[in-house]
Structure 1
């Protein structure tokens, strides 16, 4: 039974063609010592047997999207459900995570202790180890940069020095309902990647603090293999989309130049992967054009831009 007067938490898990991961995540949640939680699994247009598998699970609500709305679109459906579930907090939880039994309790305890905090995250560990995957990040607007660390002492120092400038990953992000009412939803234009950085910046600009709760632990899978072409498209494009929202035009032109130089370096690592190279160049082009939405395989950047990148690599 839920603890009397404990804040109500809506746990939102997004599934896309990975029911086994989602089931493992659910199993870890069921061992949680925080009882006043409700689990909403959102299937994001899966084309495998996800719906058949997940519909057999008890103790969850299952929402099926007929199409893939991306990480942002899928999660936004969960965030919009906060009022319907009368939730005090929404916990966006990746389906490829497993949580410590006291993780949610620690997150809620930290949130309740300081209502100036607008976003919270556990420390992320590599699956099956005590090795820290992500301890924290922080942003700067001039020049536009992101620092990142896996060192908890550094993360604590950043949190004490500049709590508004922390950047928290969206892997296991606890969002108070008051933050949603003040800041709004994730930027659906981004589809996937950079949305957590954008949301952290928006919260900081709204005067809200962010908190990495080092007593809260989540284990997260990490893909060290070959990335799909869409990864290079979204990460390249969304860097340009995100910073354009937050900096002046003059500063953005510097961002575009830095992005171009980084893209040249990435392309050099993708010499034997033509589709990945094309996706990366297209991401740069669409980012400059402020084009949003889903990646379409087969689209190409203009030939002149492709030639410019080829010449830069010589």
Structure 2
């Protein structure tokens, strides 16, 4: 008997990829139901999604970001009886046996809350650069199943069991667009579940990673928040780690942006850190809710 698999797709001005994304899911050998949450796109994303009658489209009046929009879709999937929820980025597409391969590994191997395929770039032959970094940081390997066990893999393509979601919960709403997947992985580990990469399954993630100062500052801020919310460490240790990030991250970007911008980054990150120091109750509440 097939497990009920719901794909949750968050879109925002992703018209360029919509057809390839949806078509790949419709051609999956393993049947899936698709829930799309559009974050108030200004391009043709909504019109393209409406071409597919099988897509359950939810239109948000605001751009909720990645985590909050996914939460809407995940909740609906669980309400409809999902056994598994597959999070897929709008700029990615699957192959015919991607979903079936992931389900097979989840069903045959105990202890995994998240299973991700191999992430290739748009050409389908070279690994996505960021994914390659995570893949090489493997914690262990289940050789008999060709599964690499990691502490983190980005959420461009996550197969999550309903049991994992019920135990771990949804994405933390304190995050905007970055950091929520790392926080979720920390919580999965806290609940003694494993995160795996199925070496036999693959997706294509058609993105170009572009760095700029504003983006790096935002990502750095959420890296600090991730440290503060890491329930695998005590609260005091988490605050110390967050402070280390404040002092360490500007040094990391010194070569890219020069001394002036690195100093600006330091004060921006320090202000962000102090904001959370002054709002410890919010941090404590988020940490407690994740347990």
- The alpha-carbon deviation at position 70 of structure 1 amounts to 0.7
What CA distance in whole angstroms lies between the structure 1 residues aligned with 2:23 and 2:266? 37
CA contact (8 A) 1:236 1:283 kept: yes
> Aligned pair count?
271
Q: Choose the corresponding residue for 2:107, options 94, 105, 112.
A: 112
Encode CA deviations 1:131-177: one digit per residue, 9 max, x unaligned. Answer: 2226969xxxxxxxxxx4444xx74x62349x876212101001111
* 1:260 match: 247
Aligned 1:227-242 pairs, distance under 5 A: 227=212, 229=214, 231-242=215-226
Give the corresponding residue for 1:290.
276
Could you tell me how far apart the structure 2 residues matched to 1:226 and 1:210 are?
A: 27
Q: Distance in 2 between matches of 1:150 and 1:216?
A: 14
Shift of 1:252: 3.1
Render the CA deviation track for 1:169-196: whole Å, top value 9, x for unaligned.
Answer: 1010011111111110011111122211
Task: Give the corresponding residue for 1:125.
Answer: 120
What's the CA shift for 1:198? 1.2
Judging changes above 3 Å, is the alpha-carbon distance between structure 1 residues 25 and 284 closer, same or farther for their aligned structure 2 residues? farther
Distance of 2:75 and 2:254 partners within structure 1: 39
Distance change (3 Å), C-alpha of 1:53 and 1:240 = same
Give TM-score scaled by structure 1 length: 0.77
In the TM superposition, what is the alpha-carbon distance from 1:93 to its structure 2 partner?
Answer: 0.1
Q: Post-superposition shift, 1:233?
A: 3.3
The CA distance in 2 between the partners of 1:85 and 1:227, in whole Å, is 41
Q: CA RMSD in A?
A: 2.9
3-state secondary structure, aligned to 1:61: strand
Task: Please tell me whether residue 212 in structure 1 is matched to residue 205 in structure 2.
Answer: no
- 1-side partners of 2:272 and 2:211: how far apart? 23
The answer to whether residue 69 in structure 2 is matched with residue 74 in structure 1 is yes
Give distance in 2, aligned partners of 1:57 and 1:280: 47
Any stretches of 5+ residues in structure 2 without a counterpart? 278-291
Structure with the higher helix share, 1 or 2? 2
Report the equivalent of 2:41: 46
1:166-185 correspondence to structure 2 within 5 Å: 166-185=151-170
1:247-286 residue CA offsets vs partner (Å, 9 max, x unmatched):
3324532442244222233254235997x99678535532
CA distance in 2, matches of 1:273, 1:48: 37
Q: How does 1:1-314 map to 2 (within 5 A)?
A: 5-35=1-31, 37-133=32-128, 148-151=133-136, 155=138, 158-160=140-142, 166-227=151-212, 229=214, 231-246=215-230, 247-248=233-234, 249-250=236-237, 252-271=239-258, 282-290=268-276
SS in 2 for 1:83: helix
